[in-house]
Structure 1
Amino acid sequence: MILRVENLSKEFAIEFDILGRPVKFLKAVQDVSFTVEEKSVFSIVGESGSGKSTIARILCGIYKPTTGSIHFMGSPLKRSGQIQMVFQDPESSLDPRKTILFSIEEGLRIHRVANREERKKLVYETLRAVGLTEDVLWKYPHQLSGGQKQRVAIARCLVLKPKLLILDEPTSALDVSVQAQILNLLMDLKQSYSLTYILITHDLKIAYHISDQTMVMYLGQIMEMGKTQRILEEPLHPYTKALVAAIPTLETDKLKDFSLKGEIPSPLNPPEGCPFRTRCDFAFSKCGEKPPLIDFRGRKVRCHLYTEV
Protein backbone atom coordinates (compact mmCIF):
# COMPACT_ATOMS: atom_id res chain seq x y z
CA MET A 1 0.00 0.00 0.00
CA ILE A 2 1.40 3.39 -1.00
CA LEU A 3 -1.42 5.70 0.19
CA ARG A 4 -3.98 5.52 3.00
CA VAL A 5 -6.64 8.21 3.40
CA GLU A 6 -8.86 8.10 6.49
CA ASN A 7 -11.99 10.16 7.24
CA LEU A 8 -10.92 13.00 4.95
CA SER A 9 -13.15 16.09 4.92
CA LYS A 10 -12.72 19.54 3.41
CA GLU A 11 -14.88 22.59 4.07
CA PHE A 12 -14.52 26.04 2.50
CA ALA A 13 -15.72 29.11 4.37
CA ILE A 14 -17.98 31.14 2.08
CA GLU A 15 -19.67 33.61 4.45
CA PHE A 16 -18.24 35.60 7.35
CA ASP A 17 -19.69 37.73 10.15
CA ILE A 18 -18.70 41.35 10.78
CA LEU A 19 -15.70 40.17 12.81
CA GLY A 20 -14.44 38.07 9.92
CA ARG A 21 -15.38 34.77 11.49
CA PRO A 22 -16.71 32.08 9.13
CA VAL A 23 -20.41 31.37 9.58
CA LYS A 24 -21.26 29.32 6.49
CA PHE A 25 -19.29 26.50 4.88
CA LEU A 26 -19.29 24.55 1.65
CA LYS A 27 -18.69 20.87 2.34
CA ALA A 28 -16.63 19.79 -0.65
CA VAL A 29 -15.47 16.40 0.69
CA GLN A 30 -17.14 14.47 3.50
CA ASP A 31 -15.60 11.63 5.49
CA VAL A 32 -13.77 9.93 2.61
CA SER A 33 -11.52 6.93 3.27
CA PHE A 34 -9.64 4.79 0.75
CA THR A 35 -6.33 3.05 0.11
CA VAL A 36 -4.19 2.87 -3.02
CA GLU A 37 -1.92 -0.09 -3.73
CA GLU A 38 1.56 0.52 -5.08
CA LYS A 39 1.96 0.40 -8.91
CA SER A 40 -1.83 0.34 -9.39
CA VAL A 41 -4.28 2.77 -11.01
CA PHE A 42 -6.98 4.12 -8.69
CA SER A 43 -9.79 6.06 -10.37
CA ILE A 44 -12.03 8.66 -8.76
CA VAL A 45 -15.09 9.25 -10.95
CA GLY A 46 -18.19 11.39 -10.83
CA GLU A 47 -19.81 14.49 -12.25
CA SER A 48 -18.43 17.99 -11.85
CA GLY A 49 -18.93 19.14 -8.27
CA SER A 50 -18.51 15.68 -6.77
CA GLY A 51 -15.27 16.52 -4.93
CA LYS A 52 -12.81 14.66 -7.16
CA SER A 53 -10.44 17.53 -7.86
CA THR A 54 -10.61 18.74 -4.24
CA ILE A 55 -9.23 15.37 -3.11
CA ALA A 56 -6.48 15.63 -5.72
CA ARG A 57 -5.48 19.09 -4.53
CA ILE A 58 -5.40 17.95 -0.91
CA LEU A 59 -3.08 15.08 -1.80
CA CYS A 60 -0.79 17.52 -3.64
CA GLY A 61 -0.71 19.93 -0.71
CA ILE A 62 -2.60 22.72 -2.51
CA TYR A 63 -5.41 22.49 0.09
CA LYS A 64 -5.17 21.48 3.72
CA PRO A 65 -7.79 18.99 4.90
CA THR A 66 -10.34 20.16 7.46
CA THR A 67 -10.29 16.77 9.19
CA GLY A 68 -8.83 13.34 8.53
CA SER A 69 -5.40 11.83 8.01
CA ILE A 70 -3.28 10.92 4.98
CA HIS A 71 -0.37 8.49 5.10
CA PHE A 72 2.00 8.17 2.15
CA MET A 73 4.48 5.29 2.04
CA GLY A 74 3.76 4.55 5.70
CA SER A 75 4.30 8.07 7.06
CA PRO A 76 2.08 11.15 7.52
CA LEU A 77 1.87 13.04 4.24
CA LYS A 78 4.31 15.91 3.73
CA ARG A 79 4.82 18.07 0.65
CA SER A 80 7.58 16.60 -1.48
CA GLY A 81 8.47 15.76 -5.03
CA GLN A 82 7.23 12.19 -4.50
CA ILE A 83 3.65 13.16 -5.40
CA GLN A 84 3.13 15.10 -8.62
CA MET A 85 0.02 16.19 -10.52
CA VAL A 86 -0.75 16.42 -14.23
CA PHE A 87 -3.43 19.08 -14.58
CA GLN A 88 -6.43 19.03 -16.89
CA ASP A 89 -5.45 21.92 -19.14
CA PRO A 90 -1.79 21.92 -20.22
CA GLU A 91 -2.23 25.41 -21.69
CA SER A 92 -2.91 26.99 -18.29
CA SER A 93 -0.50 24.79 -16.34
CA LEU A 94 2.56 26.04 -18.26
CA ASP A 95 3.97 29.56 -17.86
CA PRO A 96 3.61 31.24 -21.29
CA ARG A 97 6.62 33.50 -20.57
CA LYS A 98 9.05 30.66 -19.87
CA THR A 99 10.75 28.21 -22.22
CA ILE A 100 9.99 24.53 -22.03
CA LEU A 101 13.48 23.93 -20.64
CA PHE A 102 12.78 26.33 -17.76
CA SER A 103 9.40 24.73 -17.02
CA ILE A 104 10.72 21.16 -16.87
CA GLU A 105 13.86 22.09 -14.93
CA GLU A 106 12.03 24.32 -12.44
CA GLY A 107 11.05 21.49 -10.09
CA LEU A 108 14.64 20.27 -9.92
CA ARG A 109 15.79 23.76 -8.93
CA ILE A 110 13.08 24.16 -6.30
CA HIS A 111 13.93 20.81 -4.70
CA ARG A 112 17.66 21.45 -5.16
CA VAL A 113 18.26 18.29 -7.13
CA ALA A 114 21.76 17.93 -8.66
CA ASN A 115 23.87 20.64 -10.26
CA ARG A 116 23.13 22.55 -13.46
CA GLU A 117 24.69 20.05 -15.87
CA GLU A 118 23.11 17.07 -14.14
CA ARG A 119 19.72 18.79 -14.19
CA LYS A 120 19.94 19.35 -17.95
CA LYS A 121 20.85 15.70 -18.43
CA LEU A 122 17.78 14.68 -16.42
CA VAL A 123 15.61 17.03 -18.50
CA TYR A 124 16.89 15.55 -21.77
CA GLU A 125 16.30 11.98 -20.56
CA THR A 126 12.78 12.74 -19.39
CA LEU A 127 11.94 14.61 -22.58
CA ARG A 128 12.87 11.57 -24.66
CA ALA A 129 10.83 9.34 -22.35
CA VAL A 130 7.65 11.30 -23.15
CA GLY A 131 8.31 11.18 -26.89
CA LEU A 132 9.62 14.70 -27.53
CA THR A 133 12.85 15.87 -29.14
CA GLU A 134 15.32 18.36 -27.67
CA ASP A 135 14.40 21.11 -30.14
CA VAL A 136 11.24 21.87 -28.12
CA LEU A 137 13.29 22.93 -25.08
CA TRP A 138 13.87 26.43 -26.41
CA LYS A 139 10.28 26.94 -27.52
CA TYR A 140 7.41 28.52 -25.61
CA PRO A 141 4.06 26.83 -24.83
CA HIS A 142 2.16 28.72 -27.56
CA GLN A 143 4.49 27.17 -30.14
CA LEU A 144 3.45 23.61 -29.25
CA SER A 145 0.36 21.55 -30.03
CA GLY A 146 -2.01 20.44 -27.28
CA GLY A 147 -0.55 16.94 -27.24
CA GLN A 148 3.00 18.28 -27.04
CA LYS A 149 2.08 20.58 -24.15
CA GLN A 150 0.55 17.69 -22.23
CA ARG A 151 3.72 15.65 -22.81
CA VAL A 152 5.72 18.57 -21.41
CA ALA A 153 3.41 18.69 -18.38
CA ILE A 154 3.99 14.98 -17.83
CA ALA A 155 7.77 15.41 -18.25
CA ARG A 156 7.77 18.21 -15.69
CA CYS A 157 6.34 15.74 -13.16
CA LEU A 158 8.48 12.75 -14.14
CA VAL A 159 11.79 14.60 -13.93
CA LEU A 160 11.47 14.56 -10.12
CA LYS A 161 11.14 10.74 -10.12
CA PRO A 162 7.82 10.65 -8.22
CA LYS A 163 6.23 7.55 -6.75
CA LEU A 164 2.62 8.73 -7.17
CA LEU A 165 1.21 10.67 -10.10
CA ILE A 166 -2.22 12.30 -9.87
CA LEU A 167 -3.88 12.66 -13.27
CA ASP A 168 -6.64 15.27 -13.18
CA GLU A 169 -8.68 14.71 -16.36
CA PRO A 170 -5.39 14.36 -18.32
CA THR A 171 -7.01 14.01 -21.77
CA SER A 172 -10.26 16.01 -21.56
CA ALA A 173 -8.70 19.18 -23.04
CA LEU A 174 -7.16 17.30 -25.99
CA ASP A 175 -8.42 16.36 -29.44
CA VAL A 176 -9.90 12.87 -29.64
CA SER A 177 -7.09 11.78 -31.97
CA VAL A 178 -4.49 12.73 -29.35
CA GLN A 179 -6.24 11.33 -26.29
CA ALA A 180 -5.37 7.69 -27.03
CA GLN A 181 -1.71 8.61 -27.63
CA ILE A 182 -1.45 10.31 -24.23
CA LEU A 183 -3.18 7.43 -22.44
CA ASN A 184 -0.86 4.89 -24.09
CA LEU A 185 2.12 7.04 -23.13
CA LEU A 186 0.96 7.20 -19.51
CA MET A 187 0.60 3.43 -19.30
CA ASP A 188 4.06 2.91 -20.84
CA LEU A 189 5.57 5.37 -18.35
CA LYS A 190 3.80 3.60 -15.49
CA GLN A 191 5.70 0.44 -16.32
CA SER A 192 9.10 1.99 -17.03
CA TYR A 193 9.03 4.33 -13.99
CA SER A 194 7.16 1.93 -11.62
CA LEU A 195 4.51 4.58 -11.01
CA THR A 196 1.24 4.56 -9.11
CA TYR A 197 -1.62 6.61 -10.60
CA ILE A 198 -4.67 8.29 -9.14
CA LEU A 199 -6.92 9.12 -12.08
CA ILE A 200 -9.52 11.88 -11.67
CA THR A 201 -12.09 11.57 -14.43
CA HIS A 202 -15.74 11.81 -15.41
CA ASP A 203 -15.09 9.42 -18.32
CA LEU A 204 -15.86 5.89 -17.18
CA LYS A 205 -14.54 4.43 -20.45
CA ILE A 206 -11.02 5.49 -19.45
CA ALA A 207 -11.45 4.19 -15.91
CA TYR A 208 -12.72 0.86 -17.22
CA HIS A 209 -9.74 0.31 -19.49
CA ILE A 210 -6.82 1.38 -17.31
CA SER A 211 -7.75 1.34 -13.61
CA ASP A 212 -7.68 -1.41 -10.99
CA GLN A 213 -9.90 0.21 -8.35
CA THR A 214 -12.63 2.83 -8.75
CA MET A 215 -14.29 5.17 -6.28
CA VAL A 216 -17.57 6.79 -7.37
CA MET A 217 -18.16 10.23 -5.79
CA TYR A 218 -21.30 12.35 -5.54
CA LEU A 219 -21.54 15.69 -3.69
CA GLY A 220 -18.36 14.98 -1.77
CA GLN A 221 -19.34 11.48 -0.59
CA ILE A 222 -18.41 7.97 -1.68
CA MET A 223 -21.33 6.22 -3.37
CA GLU A 224 -19.54 3.02 -4.39
CA MET A 225 -15.98 1.70 -4.29
CA GLY A 226 -14.23 -1.51 -5.31
CA LYS A 227 -12.60 -3.30 -8.21
CA THR A 228 -13.18 -1.38 -11.43
CA GLN A 229 -14.33 -4.32 -13.53
CA ARG A 230 -16.96 -5.38 -11.00
CA ILE A 231 -18.24 -1.86 -10.42
CA LEU A 232 -18.62 -0.99 -14.08
CA GLU A 233 -19.93 -4.38 -15.22
CA GLU A 234 -22.21 -4.96 -12.22
CA PRO A 235 -22.87 -1.55 -10.61
CA LEU A 236 -24.88 -1.53 -7.38
CA HIS A 237 -25.65 2.10 -6.57
CA PRO A 238 -28.36 3.76 -8.74
CA TYR A 239 -25.95 6.63 -9.42
CA THR A 240 -23.25 4.26 -10.65
CA LYS A 241 -25.82 2.43 -12.76
CA ALA A 242 -26.87 5.70 -14.41
CA LEU A 243 -23.26 6.64 -15.13
CA VAL A 244 -22.55 3.22 -16.64
CA ALA A 245 -25.77 3.27 -18.68
CA ALA A 246 -24.53 6.45 -20.38
CA ILE A 247 -21.43 4.68 -21.73
CA PRO A 248 -22.10 3.48 -25.28
CA THR A 249 -19.13 1.09 -25.41
CA LEU A 250 -20.10 -1.13 -22.46
CA GLU A 251 -22.86 -3.73 -22.51
CA THR A 252 -25.57 -1.71 -20.80
CA ASP A 253 -28.81 -3.20 -22.14
CA LYS A 254 -29.85 -4.32 -18.65
CA LEU A 255 -29.31 -0.74 -17.43
CA LYS A 256 -31.22 1.01 -20.20
CA ASP A 257 -33.88 2.20 -17.75
CA PHE A 258 -31.32 4.10 -15.67
CA SER A 259 -30.64 7.73 -16.47
CA LEU A 260 -29.54 10.86 -14.65
CA LYS A 261 -32.34 13.37 -14.19
CA GLY A 262 -31.60 17.06 -13.84
CA GLU A 263 -28.40 18.61 -12.56
CA ILE A 264 -26.28 17.76 -9.55
CA PRO A 265 -27.55 19.84 -6.58
CA SER A 266 -25.49 22.71 -5.26
CA PRO A 267 -23.08 21.67 -2.50
CA LEU A 268 -24.17 24.86 -0.73
CA ASN A 269 -27.63 23.35 -0.28
CA PRO A 270 -27.32 19.57 -0.52
CA PRO A 271 -30.32 17.27 0.01
CA GLU A 272 -30.80 15.86 3.48
CA GLY A 273 -30.17 12.17 3.94
CA CYS A 274 -28.91 10.43 0.81
CA PRO A 275 -27.39 13.13 -1.44
CA PHE A 276 -28.62 11.32 -4.59
CA ARG A 277 -32.25 10.91 -3.53
CA THR A 278 -33.52 13.96 -5.48
CA ARG A 279 -32.44 12.31 -8.76
CA CYS A 280 -33.04 8.66 -7.88
CA ASP A 281 -36.00 6.64 -9.26
CA PHE A 282 -35.74 4.25 -6.31
CA ALA A 283 -35.84 6.79 -3.47
CA PHE A 284 -38.18 5.91 -0.61
CA SER A 285 -38.93 7.32 2.83
CA LYS A 286 -35.77 6.04 4.52
CA CYS A 287 -33.63 7.94 2.00
CA GLY A 288 -34.33 11.04 4.09
CA GLU A 289 -31.77 9.53 6.49
CA LYS A 290 -28.08 9.46 5.60
CA PRO A 291 -27.15 5.92 4.52
CA PRO A 292 -23.94 4.37 5.87
CA LEU A 293 -21.14 3.12 3.62
CA ILE A 294 -21.44 -0.65 3.95
CA ASP A 295 -19.61 -3.71 2.64
CA PHE A 296 -21.77 -5.55 0.12
CA ARG A 297 -20.75 -8.23 -2.40
CA GLY A 298 -17.06 -7.51 -2.10
CA ARG A 299 -17.24 -3.74 -2.41
CA LYS A 300 -18.47 -0.68 -0.54
CA VAL A 301 -21.77 0.99 -1.35
CA ARG A 302 -23.77 3.84 0.25
CA CYS A 303 -27.44 3.09 -0.39
CA HIS A 304 -30.48 2.14 1.74
CA LEU A 305 -31.48 -0.41 -0.91
CA TYR A 306 -28.68 -2.60 0.46
CA THR A 307 -28.98 -1.75 4.15
CA GLU A 308 -32.46 -3.31 3.91
CA VAL A 309 -31.13 -6.60 2.47
Structure 2
Amino acid sequence: MKIIVQMDPIERLNLAGDSTFALLLEAQERGYDIDIYTPDMLTLNDGILSTKAQQIKAYHSPDRIEELNHPRSVLLDEYDIVLMRQDPPFDMSYITATHLLETIQDKTLILNNPFYVRNCPEKIFVNKYMEFMPHTLITRNISEIIKFRDEYKKIIIKPLYGNGGANVFYSDDTDRNFGSIIENFMGLNNEPFIIQQFIPKVKEGDKRIILIDGEIVGAINRLPQDGEIRSNMHVGGLPAKTEITEGDAKICNAISQDLKDFGLFFAGIDIIDNLITEINVTSPTGIREILQLSGIDVAKIFWDQAERKINN
Protein backbone atom coordinates (compact mmCIF):
# COMPACT_ATOMS: atom_id res chain seq x y z
CA MET A 1 0.00 0.00 0.00
CA LYS A 2 1.16 3.52 -0.80
CA ILE A 3 0.60 6.16 1.86
CA ILE A 4 1.61 9.78 2.18
CA VAL A 5 1.61 11.71 5.45
CA GLN A 6 1.05 15.46 5.76
CA MET A 7 3.00 16.33 8.88
CA ASP A 8 5.25 18.79 10.66
CA PRO A 9 8.95 18.92 9.72
CA ILE A 10 10.91 15.94 11.07
CA GLU A 11 13.22 18.19 13.07
CA ARG A 12 10.28 19.46 15.15
CA LEU A 13 9.19 16.00 16.29
CA ASN A 14 10.00 14.45 19.65
CA LEU A 15 10.14 10.92 18.27
CA ALA A 16 10.17 9.22 21.68
CA GLY A 17 6.58 10.25 22.36
CA ASP A 18 5.29 11.15 18.92
CA SER A 19 2.08 9.48 17.73
CA THR A 20 2.76 10.21 14.06
CA PHE A 21 6.08 8.39 14.40
CA ALA A 22 4.27 5.43 16.00
CA LEU A 23 1.98 5.27 12.97
CA LEU A 24 4.99 5.45 10.64
CA LEU A 25 6.72 2.60 12.50
CA GLU A 26 3.69 0.33 12.13
CA ALA A 27 3.28 1.28 8.47
CA GLN A 28 6.94 0.43 7.94
CA GLU A 29 6.42 -2.94 9.66
CA ARG A 30 3.64 -3.71 7.18
CA GLY A 31 5.81 -2.93 4.19
CA TYR A 32 3.93 0.16 3.05
CA ASP A 33 5.60 2.64 0.73
CA ILE A 34 5.73 5.81 2.85
CA ASP A 35 6.16 9.37 1.65
CA ILE A 36 5.94 12.49 3.81
CA TYR A 37 5.48 16.18 3.09
CA THR A 38 4.74 19.43 4.88
CA PRO A 39 1.50 21.34 4.14
CA ASP A 40 3.32 24.35 2.71
CA MET A 41 4.41 22.16 -0.23
CA LEU A 42 0.85 21.55 -1.49
CA THR A 43 0.24 22.88 -5.02
CA LEU A 44 -3.02 22.98 -6.99
CA ASN A 45 -2.23 23.57 -10.68
CA ASP A 46 -5.20 23.60 -13.06
CA GLY A 47 -7.09 21.36 -10.67
CA ILE A 48 -4.26 18.84 -10.19
CA LEU A 49 -3.00 18.51 -6.60
CA SER A 50 0.68 17.78 -6.08
CA THR A 51 3.31 18.22 -3.42
CA LYS A 52 7.04 17.89 -2.89
CA ALA A 53 7.48 14.66 -0.94
CA GLN A 54 10.24 12.43 0.36
CA GLN A 55 10.22 8.67 0.73
CA ILE A 56 11.23 7.64 4.26
CA LYS A 57 11.90 4.69 6.49
CA ALA A 58 11.18 4.71 10.22
CA TYR A 59 13.35 2.89 12.75
CA HIS A 60 12.97 2.02 16.42
CA SER A 61 15.79 1.68 19.02
CA PRO A 62 17.01 4.27 18.45
CA ASP A 63 14.03 6.15 17.07
CA ARG A 64 14.89 7.81 13.79
CA ILE A 65 13.49 8.67 10.38
CA GLU A 66 15.69 8.14 7.32
CA GLU A 67 14.99 10.23 4.24
CA LEU A 68 15.60 8.01 1.22
CA ASN A 69 15.62 10.66 -1.50
CA HIS A 70 15.48 14.36 -2.22
CA PRO A 71 12.04 16.01 -2.35
CA ARG A 72 10.29 15.16 -5.61
CA SER A 73 6.98 16.17 -7.12
CA VAL A 74 4.17 13.63 -6.61
CA LEU A 75 0.44 13.55 -7.33
CA LEU A 76 -1.57 12.99 -4.19
CA ASP A 77 -4.41 11.12 -5.88
CA GLU A 78 -1.97 8.32 -6.75
CA TYR A 79 -1.77 7.23 -3.09
CA ASP A 80 -4.07 4.79 -1.34
CA ILE A 81 -4.20 6.95 1.79
CA VAL A 82 -3.35 10.55 2.60
CA LEU A 83 -2.91 10.95 6.35
CA MET A 84 -3.27 14.44 7.87
CA ARG A 85 -1.04 14.66 10.95
CA GLN A 86 0.27 18.21 11.26
CA ASP A 87 -0.32 19.91 14.60
CA PRO A 88 -2.38 23.09 14.94
CA PRO A 89 -2.46 26.13 15.10
CA PHE A 90 -5.77 25.86 13.31
CA ASP A 91 -5.16 28.93 11.18
CA MET A 92 -5.81 29.92 7.56
CA SER A 93 -2.81 27.87 6.42
CA TYR A 94 -4.31 24.80 8.07
CA ILE A 95 -7.78 25.55 6.70
CA THR A 96 -6.42 26.09 3.17
CA ALA A 97 -4.72 22.68 3.27
CA THR A 98 -8.09 21.06 4.02
CA HIS A 99 -9.66 22.80 1.02
CA LEU A 100 -6.85 21.61 -1.25
CA LEU A 101 -7.08 18.02 -0.02
CA GLU A 102 -10.82 18.02 -0.68
CA THR A 103 -10.08 18.23 -4.41
CA ILE A 104 -8.88 14.60 -4.42
CA GLN A 105 -11.36 13.19 -1.94
CA ASP A 106 -13.25 11.18 -4.56
CA LYS A 107 -10.02 9.50 -5.70
CA THR A 108 -8.15 8.58 -2.51
CA LEU A 109 -8.89 8.00 1.17
CA ILE A 110 -8.00 11.00 3.34
CA LEU A 111 -7.79 10.47 7.09
CA ASN A 112 -9.33 12.43 8.67
CA ASN A 113 -11.94 13.76 6.24
CA PRO A 114 -10.65 17.30 5.52
CA PHE A 115 -14.14 18.81 5.22
CA TYR A 116 -15.05 17.77 8.74
CA VAL A 117 -11.61 18.49 10.19
CA ARG A 118 -12.21 22.05 9.04
CA ASN A 119 -15.83 22.19 10.19
CA CYS A 120 -15.39 20.45 13.55
CA PRO A 121 -12.79 22.54 15.43
CA GLU A 122 -12.18 20.63 18.63
CA LYS A 123 -13.25 23.29 21.13
CA ILE A 124 -16.39 24.18 19.12
CA PHE A 125 -17.51 20.75 17.86
CA VAL A 126 -17.64 19.46 21.44
CA ASN A 127 -20.42 21.95 22.27
CA LYS A 128 -22.80 19.70 20.36
CA TYR A 129 -22.64 17.43 23.43
CA MET A 130 -23.29 20.11 26.04
CA GLU A 131 -25.01 17.69 28.43
CA PHE A 132 -21.59 16.09 29.04
CA MET A 133 -19.59 19.34 29.31
CA PRO A 134 -18.60 21.80 32.03
CA HIS A 135 -20.27 25.21 31.72
CA THR A 136 -18.63 26.80 28.68
CA LEU A 137 -18.52 30.27 27.13
CA ILE A 138 -17.06 31.22 23.72
CA THR A 139 -16.78 34.99 23.23
CA ARG A 140 -14.61 38.13 23.06
CA ASN A 141 -17.23 40.15 24.91
CA ILE A 142 -15.55 41.26 28.14
CA SER A 143 -18.81 41.90 30.00
CA GLU A 144 -19.96 38.34 29.20
CA ILE A 145 -16.65 36.97 30.47
CA ILE A 146 -16.93 38.93 33.72
CA LYS A 147 -20.52 37.75 34.18
CA PHE A 148 -19.43 34.12 33.61
CA ARG A 149 -16.52 34.49 36.05
CA ASP A 150 -18.81 36.04 38.67
CA GLU A 151 -21.30 33.18 38.30
CA TYR A 152 -18.87 30.24 38.39
CA LYS A 153 -16.08 31.85 40.47
CA LYS A 154 -13.26 29.58 39.24
CA ILE A 155 -12.60 29.42 35.50
CA ILE A 156 -10.15 28.28 32.83
CA ILE A 157 -9.38 30.62 29.92
CA LYS A 158 -7.75 29.30 26.74
CA PRO A 159 -7.37 30.11 23.03
CA LEU A 160 -10.15 28.73 20.85
CA TYR A 161 -7.73 27.32 18.27
CA GLY A 162 -4.65 26.63 20.40
CA ASN A 163 -3.13 23.30 21.35
CA GLY A 164 -0.69 21.66 23.72
CA GLY A 165 -1.65 23.69 26.79
CA ALA A 166 -0.21 26.95 25.45
CA ASN A 167 -1.78 30.15 26.85
CA VAL A 168 -4.11 28.28 29.22
CA PHE A 169 -4.87 30.25 32.40
CA TYR A 170 -6.72 29.64 35.65
CA SER A 171 -8.50 32.57 37.26
CA ASP A 172 -11.09 33.16 39.97
CA ASP A 173 -13.18 35.99 41.40
CA THR A 174 -10.31 37.12 43.68
CA ASP A 175 -7.67 37.22 40.93
CA ARG A 176 -6.07 40.67 40.67
CA ASN A 177 -4.44 39.62 37.40
CA PHE A 178 -7.77 38.84 35.73
CA GLY A 179 -7.74 42.08 33.75
CA SER A 180 -4.20 41.42 32.55
CA ILE A 181 -5.13 37.90 31.45
CA ILE A 182 -8.06 39.24 29.41
CA GLU A 183 -5.83 41.94 27.89
CA ASN A 184 -3.37 39.22 26.90
CA PHE A 185 -6.09 37.26 25.12
CA MET A 186 -7.52 40.34 23.41
CA GLY A 187 -4.04 41.03 22.06
CA LEU A 188 -3.33 37.51 20.80
CA ASN A 189 -5.60 37.78 17.75
CA ASN A 190 -9.11 38.91 16.81
CA GLU A 191 -10.77 35.55 17.54
CA PRO A 192 -13.14 34.64 20.35
CA PHE A 193 -11.64 32.59 23.15
CA ILE A 194 -13.05 29.87 25.35
CA ILE A 195 -13.82 30.09 29.07
CA GLN A 196 -14.88 27.03 31.04
CA GLN A 197 -15.90 26.39 34.60
CA PHE A 198 -12.85 25.05 36.44
CA ILE A 199 -13.06 21.34 37.28
CA PRO A 200 -11.23 20.81 40.62
CA LYS A 201 -10.67 17.11 39.96
CA VAL A 202 -8.25 17.99 37.16
CA LYS A 203 -5.58 17.36 39.82
CA GLU A 204 -6.59 13.68 39.54
CA GLY A 205 -5.96 13.78 35.82
CA ASP A 206 -7.28 14.61 32.38
CA LYS A 207 -8.17 11.41 30.55
CA ARG A 208 -7.38 11.09 26.83
CA ILE A 209 -9.48 8.42 25.11
CA ILE A 210 -8.59 7.36 21.57
CA LEU A 211 -11.38 6.35 19.20
CA ILE A 212 -10.81 4.78 15.79
CA ASP A 213 -13.76 4.86 13.42
CA GLY A 214 -15.96 5.76 16.38
CA GLU A 215 -14.86 2.89 18.61
CA ILE A 216 -12.85 3.14 21.85
CA VAL A 217 -9.41 1.56 21.47
CA GLY A 218 -7.39 2.88 24.41
CA ALA A 219 -6.88 5.59 27.00
CA ILE A 220 -4.34 7.22 29.28
CA ASN A 221 -4.67 9.59 32.19
CA ARG A 222 -2.52 12.73 32.15
CA LEU A 223 -1.58 14.09 35.55
CA PRO A 224 -0.59 17.74 36.05
CA GLN A 225 2.65 18.41 37.86
CA ASP A 226 2.54 19.88 41.36
CA GLY A 227 1.33 23.48 41.30
CA GLU A 228 0.06 23.17 37.71
CA ILE A 229 -3.50 22.96 36.37
CA ARG A 230 -2.46 21.92 32.84
CA SER A 231 -2.05 18.21 32.23
CA ASN A 232 -0.99 18.32 28.56
CA MET A 233 2.12 16.24 27.99
CA HIS A 234 3.56 19.12 25.93
CA VAL A 235 3.82 21.11 29.18
CA GLY A 236 5.02 18.33 31.47
CA GLY A 237 1.85 16.34 32.17
CA LEU A 238 2.66 12.82 33.31
CA PRO A 239 0.97 9.84 31.60
CA ALA A 240 -0.61 7.23 33.85
CA LYS A 241 -2.53 4.02 33.29
CA THR A 242 -6.32 4.32 33.44
CA GLU A 243 -9.54 2.45 32.77
CA ILE A 244 -12.64 3.31 30.78
CA THR A 245 -15.48 4.04 33.20
CA GLU A 246 -19.20 3.71 32.59
CA GLY A 247 -19.37 7.51 32.33
CA ASP A 248 -16.56 7.56 29.77
CA ALA A 249 -18.31 4.92 27.67
CA LYS A 250 -21.57 6.89 27.77
CA ILE A 251 -19.84 9.98 26.39
CA CYS A 252 -18.04 7.98 23.70
CA ASN A 253 -21.28 6.29 22.65
CA ALA A 254 -22.94 9.69 22.33
CA ILE A 255 -20.34 10.97 19.85
CA SER A 256 -19.47 7.69 18.09
CA GLN A 257 -21.95 7.88 15.23
CA ASP A 258 -21.03 11.46 14.38
CA LEU A 259 -17.35 10.51 14.20
CA LYS A 260 -18.21 7.67 11.80
CA ASP A 261 -20.60 9.75 9.69
CA PHE A 262 -18.14 12.65 9.44
CA GLY A 263 -15.14 10.50 8.49
CA LEU A 264 -13.32 11.55 11.66
CA PHE A 265 -11.55 8.21 11.70
CA PHE A 266 -8.94 9.04 14.34
CA ALA A 267 -10.12 11.11 17.31
CA GLY A 268 -8.98 11.81 20.85
CA ILE A 269 -11.43 13.04 23.47
CA ASP A 270 -10.47 14.69 26.74
CA ILE A 271 -12.49 13.93 29.88
CA ILE A 272 -12.07 15.39 33.37
CA ASP A 273 -14.32 14.07 36.14
CA ASN A 274 -16.86 12.64 33.66
CA LEU A 275 -17.00 15.92 31.72
CA ILE A 276 -15.75 16.20 28.14
CA THR A 277 -13.71 19.32 27.37
CA GLU A 278 -12.70 18.82 23.72
CA ILE A 279 -12.69 16.41 20.78
CA ASN A 280 -9.32 16.36 19.01
CA VAL A 281 -9.62 15.49 15.32
CA THR A 282 -6.54 17.26 13.94
CA SER A 283 -3.62 15.23 15.31
CA PRO A 284 -4.58 13.14 18.37
CA THR A 285 -1.67 12.00 20.54
CA GLY A 286 -1.06 9.39 23.23
CA ILE A 287 -0.43 6.29 21.09
CA ARG A 288 3.00 5.44 22.47
CA GLU A 289 2.01 6.10 26.08
CA ILE A 290 -1.04 3.83 25.73
CA LEU A 291 1.19 1.05 24.39
CA GLN A 292 3.71 1.48 27.21
CA LEU A 293 1.13 1.63 30.00
CA SER A 294 -1.65 -0.67 28.78
CA GLY A 295 -0.07 -2.85 26.11
CA ILE A 296 -2.69 -1.75 23.57
CA ASP A 297 -1.14 -1.17 20.15
CA VAL A 298 -3.25 1.69 18.83
CA ALA A 299 -1.08 2.07 15.71
CA LYS A 300 -1.75 -1.55 14.75
CA ILE A 301 -5.50 -1.10 15.25
CA PHE A 302 -5.35 2.13 13.23
CA TRP A 303 -3.83 0.48 10.17
CA ASP A 304 -6.00 -2.65 10.49
CA GLN A 305 -9.09 -0.45 10.31
CA ALA A 306 -7.64 1.76 7.55
CA GLU A 307 -6.94 -1.34 5.43
CA ARG A 308 -10.53 -2.47 5.93
CA LYS A 309 -11.74 0.92 4.69
CA ILE A 310 -9.55 0.62 1.60
CA ASN A 311 -10.70 -2.94 0.89
CA ASN A 312 -14.37 -2.13 1.37
- The TM-score with structure 2 as length reference comes to 0.32
Q: TM-score, normalised by structure 1?
A: 0.32
Compare CA radii of gyration and give the structure with the larger one. 1
Higher strand share: 2
